[in-house]
Amino acid sequence: MSGFPGAPKTLKGGFVEMDSEGRKVLRTITFQYNPDTLSRTLTPRSAKSDGGDRIEGLRLVGPPAETMKIDIELDATDRLERPDDNPETVANGIAPELADLEMMISPGSADLEAANRLASTGTIEVLPLPSPMLLLVLGSNRTLPVRINDFSVVEEAFDVNLNPIRARISLGLRLLSIDDLAYGSKGAELFMVALKRREQLSRRKPPAIQSLGVKTAP
């Protein structure tokens, strides 16, 4: 689809995988099409007041638990119309793009084989495999450490070799906060940057209760 002449170029969103310490970029996964919607749910984390302490009713014990749902679309139709320019798409459809997304929630085969070898010796306790740090990037103002909780794929069309050529991927994400990440780590730093930006946006105007039809403070 052609855009309007002179229209500003829209930035692409996507994911960035970094090592667990946040020092090195491992992979970048760019959305083919930016999502039409992003639904977010924020659950406040209030202090428990079972003990009868009335002060606890006004206390928050940490940042809200934030979850997100996002749909990603993949479509190889345009590339298949130019087969000479897109030999990988002709051979595999959108399977490589699906693999990029699916590997965000899977350890590598080499890591699994190494863990199995260590476990078979019986000499060490095998700990959960370390995962890369995953960042959801939605423009320069939103770079968020996240974890994927849900991942579903609907493959909607196929080529003559049954390679998928169109698909919709639905992701359920959870924002990782300082309750999940070590304070001072790269992930915690990115969360704090997002929190401080949210604070700045919420304080952009002075309070004016007169706009609510109240002349003085309640």
* pTM of the predicted model as reported, rounded to 2 decimal places: 0.85
- pLDDT tens for the chain, residues 1 to 218: 445 566 667 889 999 999 988 889 999 999 999 999 999 999 998 877 666 666 667 788 889 999 999 999 999 999 999 999 999 999 999 999 999 999 999 888 888 887 788 778 875 565 666 788 999 999 989 999 999 999 999 999 999 999 999 999 999 999 999 999 988 899 999 999 999 999 999 988 877 888 888 888 77
Rounded CA gap, 152 and 70, in Å? 11
Rounded CA gap, 189 and 196, in Å? 11
Note whether 90 and 82 are within 8 A (CB).
Answer: no
Residues contacting 145, CB < 8 A, separation 6+: 133, 134, 135, 175, 176, 181, 187, 188, 190, 191
